[in-house]
Amino acid sequence: MQNIRVERISSITETLASSLANLLTELSAMAPRPNVDEIKRILYSDVVHVFVAYDDDVPAGMLTLVCVTLLSGKKCIIEDVIVSAEFRRRGIASELIRSAVAYSRINGSRYVDLTSRSERVAANALYRQLGFVERQTNVYRLALLDKSTL
């Protein structure tokens, strides 16, 4: 792991945007491929933070951290943890998550949430190993593209 570094990105190049878009396809074939302007708009948001893990200066993984201040306090949510297939099993996801948690802690978040599909056995085991505790809660979703709802 000596060649791994993680950074919270604050600027974007065409090359990095292309790398992030490629990583998103490993998350889901349905994931959108944002262009540079869309990524810039996201990066310049006050609530969205993108962390990228580099292996010898090659983008190997990423995650998105969303931090919001609510009336009930500040909370952060980890989304879209992705490590490219060729770089897996090197501790990259752990380093990404540790970086996001450290950032959340420094910035006063009360806690960090994340979700994972149950079939992602290795990911769920990693989250437990890192100290995340599975919560007994209901998660509801309303698909806004479905015009027959509400």
Distance CA(91)–CA(126), nearest Å, equals: 10
pTM of the model: 0.90
Q: Take residue 97 and report the two structure tokens written for it.
A: 């998550």
Percent of the chain with pLDDT over 90: 59
**133 pLDDT higher than 60:** yes
pLDDT category at 137 given cuts 50, 70, 90 is confident
101: Cβ contacts below 8 Å, ≥ 6 apart: 112, 130
pLDDT category at 115 given cuts 50, 70, 90 is very high
- The reported pLDDT for the residue numbered 101 is 98
**1 pLDDT higher than 70:** no
What average pLDDT does the segment 61-88 reach?
95
Domains and CATH numbers, the chain: 4-129 (3.40.630.30)
